[in-house]
Chains A and B, each alone.
Chain A
Amino acid sequence: MQELVLIQPGGTARQELLREAAQADTRREFEERLVECGPLAYRVARGVLRNTTDAEDVAQEALLRAYCSFDRLRDRNRFRAWLVRISFRLALDRLRSSKRREQRDTLWSQPEHQPPAATAEDLAVSNEFQAHLDRALGELPEKLRLVLLLAAMEGHTIDEIAAMLGIPVGTVKSRIFFARKQLAEKLRCHVNITKTR
């Protein structure tokens, strides 16, 4: 009995080995980027959504999409900027489709981290100020809010933010300026009320 086998005589075994090696390299490189930029994706999403749970879901989705498209990214040095745009876009999509604004406001009213205060009264004042700040941040347009938060995140210069978002440096500066002015206008009255207590 003659046994025939069906083969693809194109060096398939070698091609498979090469492909698996390339995939392992990709996974290794992506893991490095994940550790470096994963928190950034979360913070961008949280800055837009103002909700921890939604921000974690969006960040997870953004990182997964980045992994699936990682091979197509020509310049790996632009991964950070690319991830910021993916996270921002996904967060905006989630924000527009979400119908739970009341739940977000409830979650956002109790800030998780506060700067240390000297006295109980100071603590109450700082908590209150942070709560008002967070609410005012939520009322800012998303583009202004994103630029403001990226500027406040550690290690981001104006030039880096401009490169991340693909906008001119002057635009970044003007957005930061207008955003801070708008926040100050909203918070000024609360500061005055606090002082008169």
Chain B
Amino acid sequence: MPCEHYKDALIEAAATGIESQGELRSHLAACALCRAAFAEERALFSSLDAGLHVAANSEVPASLLPRVRARIAEETTATRSWATTWFALAGAAAMVVAFIAVQTVRRANVGQKPVETTKYSNPPAPLIPPRQSENPIDVPPVSGTSGPQTRVTATKGFASPEALASRNTVPEVLVPRDQEVLVARYAEQWSRRRRAPLLAENSGDTALSPMEVAPIQIAQLDVKLLAEEKAQ
């Protein structure tokens, strides 16, 4: 049994792993029992550290990482399928809203101007550069009393649910199919320059120069009296 007075000091010294110093060192040099107890304490802590190392570095199950990867793949697929469903629903809702808006404006135009009718065999959807509106494109409604039926289809170019939710920044436009590319290009130019750009693309080869107008040649008038002319 170690000396009671040095028991706690022995344990603390063994726990910290620091060599005994000062009074404890002197006592250990003199007391065989305390020396033996100190050696046992150090062996105990050594075994404890070895056991902790085993417990802390246990083998990881081989199935862990594959299961995590599978769960991640499931989460990604679930997000995509949810987004696809959302796109389809949003597209259908947008088509219904667009159809109702077209019908409403058509009725309003008919009610305001009953005489004027605008007939189009194949009415294009004109593009009006926005002047004061923040939306880059305002497509006027298709007007006509007996215009041809229009078939509206949804393209694959739907944005994410977040983009659809923020309608102020990314508007949707109904355009004829043959003008789809032109509208997209126009919108890209608009978003980059923040002003109405020219529809014609700037090509680096040809530089636009101001049109030169020749000065007007005004011939001098020779005015003769009629009486003088007859006399001649």
Contact = CB atoms under 8 A, between A and B. Distances in A.
A118 interface: no
A50 to B, nearest CB: 9
Contacts of A148: 52
Interface in B110-129: 122-123, 125
B150 interface: yes
Interface in A88-137: 111-115, 129-130, 133-134, 137
A43 B60 contact: yes
Given A67-B75, A112-B59, 7 more contacts: A1-B150, A12-B159, A43-B58, A60-B67, A114-B54, A134-B55, A184-B11
Interface string A26-48: 01001100110011001100110
B172 to A, nearest CB: 5
Interface in B22-64: 40-41, 44-45, 47-61, 63-64
Contact of A7 (B51, B150, B157, B191): B157
A7 B15 contact: no
Given A133-B48, A184-B48, A52 B61 contact: yes
A6 B152 contact: yes
Given A2-B148, A38-B64, A7 B57 contact: no
Interface of A: 1-13, 15-16, 19, 27, 30-31, 34-35, 38-39, 42-43, 46-47, 52, 56, 59-60, 63-64, 67-68, 111-115, 129-130, 133-134, 137, 148-150, 152-154, 177, 180-181, 183-184, 187-188, 191
Interface stretch (B180-188, B199-207, B208-216, B217-225): B180-188
A42 B61 contact: yes
Given A10-B187, A187-B44, A181 B11 contact: yes
Q: Which 6 A-B pairs have the closest CB atoms?
A: A9-B187, A152-B56, A152-B52, A133-B51, A39-B60, A149-B56
A3 B54 contact: no
B44 A191 contact: yes
B15 A130 contact: no
B58 A7 contact: no
Contacts of B163: 8, 10, 12, 15
B193 interface: no
Interface residues of B, number: 70
A6 B184 contact: no
A146 to B, nearest CB: 10
B15 A6 contact: no
A3 B188 contact: no
Contacts of A177: 15-16
B200 to A, nearest CB: 18
Interface string B3-20: 000000001100110000
10 contacts: A4-B176, A6-B155, A8-B170, A8-B171, A12-B158, A12-B159, A16-B159, A43-B56, A43-B60, A63-B68
Nearest to A68: B75
Given A4-B152, A7-B172, A15-B159, A112 B58 contact: yes
Contact of A5 (B44, B55, B174): B174
